[in-house]
Structure 1
């Protein structure tokens, strides 16, 4: 369980950096989320 938590934190940090470096991906992700929620 602890290993899984660390893995999730690492994954989250990776995506945070990735999205920060790629605004287009963040835009697409946001658009996709809005599309799904509507």
Structure 2
């Protein structure tokens, strides 16, 4: 599986979908958070 990193804009997301890439992370999906706040 491929994980795309650094997705910041809708056009990047669309390009990944067009290539069949299903996993991605980046500012488009949410800003970084401290591990402690996510695990609460």
Q: Normalized against structure 2, the TM-score is what?
A: 0.29
Larger helix fraction of residues: 1
Larger strand fraction of residues: 2
Higher relative CO (CA 8 A, sep ≥ 6), structure 1 or 2? 2
